[in-house]
């Protein structure tokens, strides 16, 4: 193992350890208190949309994208699953249980498990095994399979949170045609560009990872968000310092 590799490995381990420590520290220090975060209009609109759909008895649709769990895109899929769990709890008082679509098989299984747990906890709605479904294994087949769910199943709010490509534009366009609320976030840059142009409420960058904290999923979500903020400032300082040293010819 080369020296650079060892250095990078240690640096990565340090970042992971620091992040874990920050998260644990914030979670323990704050307890159940939720810190105040900056306002993100997408989550405000989501809150209203959830209230409306519970009131009018329509359905929530959460699409988790096609990020494989064993890839880096799996993180965004897991963030989508966390939000799905929270929203499933919130909409358990509605007439229609939420549905979750995904473009990855393992993700579909996990979405079924999540919805089943939410149904068991709420004890108000019976779990429908078809609520968590796989719609396609390629990006556009996945999008083509999701569009009928948005259009035909009395959906009034569509949440796209996961790893999407540019095909997300087809989903947001379908949501707009169905006159439903659409909130979308992806870890893919091209997808973020098209989402910005097509979704009613786009989530840019790491905002999608803040969904759990904004939805009140728990203190650990809030702590992880605070840890992200601190790490971001550390990285900013390091980059500026590195650029300055480089410009000075030291590095």
204 binds other proteins per the rule CB under 8 A: yes
Please report how close the Cβ of residue 63 comes to other proteins at its closest, in angstroms: 15
Please report how close the Cβ of residue 79 comes to other proteins at its closest, in angstroms: 5
Instruction: Return left, alpha or beta for 249; rule: phi > 0 is left, psi -120 to 50 is alpha, else beta.
Output: left
Name which of residues 44 to 63 contact other proteins (CB under 8 A).
none
Please report how close the Cβ of residue 152 comes to other proteins at its closest, in angstroms: 5
Which of 168, 27, 14, 175 shows the shortest CA–CA distance to 185?
Answer: 168
Among 29, 93, 235, 243, binds other proteins (CB under 8 A): 235
Which of 227, 184, 73, 61 shows the shortest CA–CA distance to 131?
Answer: 61
Which of these ranges, 42-50, 53-61, 90-98, 107-115, lies near other proteins under the rule CB under 8 A?
A: 107-115
Angle between the 73-90 and 41-56 helix axes, to the nearest 10 degrees? 40
Name which of residues 64 to 93 contact other proteins (CB under 8 A).
68-73, 75-76, 78-79, 81-82, 85
Name which of residues 133 to 192 contact other proteins (CB under 8 A).
133-135, 137-141, 143-145, 148, 152, 163, 165-167, 169-170, 173, 187-190, 192
What distance in Å separates the CA atoms of residue 186 and residue 202, rounded to the nearest whole number?
9
Q: Is 10 exposed, middle or buried (CB count within 10 Å of its CB: 0-12, 13-18, 19+)?
A: exposed
Please report how close the Cβ of residue 39 comes to other proteins at its closest, in angstroms: 16
Q: Which helix (H) or strand (E) holds 159?
A: strand 155-163
Please report how close the Cβ of residue 37 comes to other proteins at its closest, in angstroms: 14
């Amino acid at each position: 193992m080369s020296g650079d590799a060892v250095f990078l490995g240690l640096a990565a381990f340090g970042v992971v350890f620091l992040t874990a420590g920050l998260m644990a520290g914030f979670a323990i220090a704050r307890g159940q208190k939720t810190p105040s975060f900056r306002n993100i209009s997408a989550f405000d609109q989501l809150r209203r949309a959830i209230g409306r759909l519970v009131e009018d008895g329509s359905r929530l649709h959460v699409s988790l994208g096609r990020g494989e769990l064993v890839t880096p895109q799996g993180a965004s899929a897991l963030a989508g699953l966390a939000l799905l769990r929270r929203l499933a709890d919130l909409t358990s008082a509605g007439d229609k249980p939420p549905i979750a679509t995904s473009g990855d098989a393992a993700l579909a299984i996990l979405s079924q498990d999540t919805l089943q747990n939410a149904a068991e906890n709420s004890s108000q709605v019976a779990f429908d095994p078809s609520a968590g479904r796989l719609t396609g294994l390629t990006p556009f087949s996945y999008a083509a399979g999701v569009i009928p769910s948005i259009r035909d199943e009395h959906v009034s709010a569509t949440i796209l949170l996961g790893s999407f490509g540019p095909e997300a534009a087809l989903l947001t366009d379908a949501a707009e045609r169905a006159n439903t609320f659409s909130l979308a976030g992806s870890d893919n840059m091209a997808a973020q560009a098209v989402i910005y142009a097509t979704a009613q409420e786009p989530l840019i960058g790491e905002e999608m990872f803040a969904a759990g904290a904004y939805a009140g999923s728990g203190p650990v979500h809030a702590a992880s968000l605070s840890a992200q903020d601190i790490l971001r400032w550390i990285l900013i300082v390091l980059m500026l310092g590195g650029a300055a040293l480089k410009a000075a010819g030291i590095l």
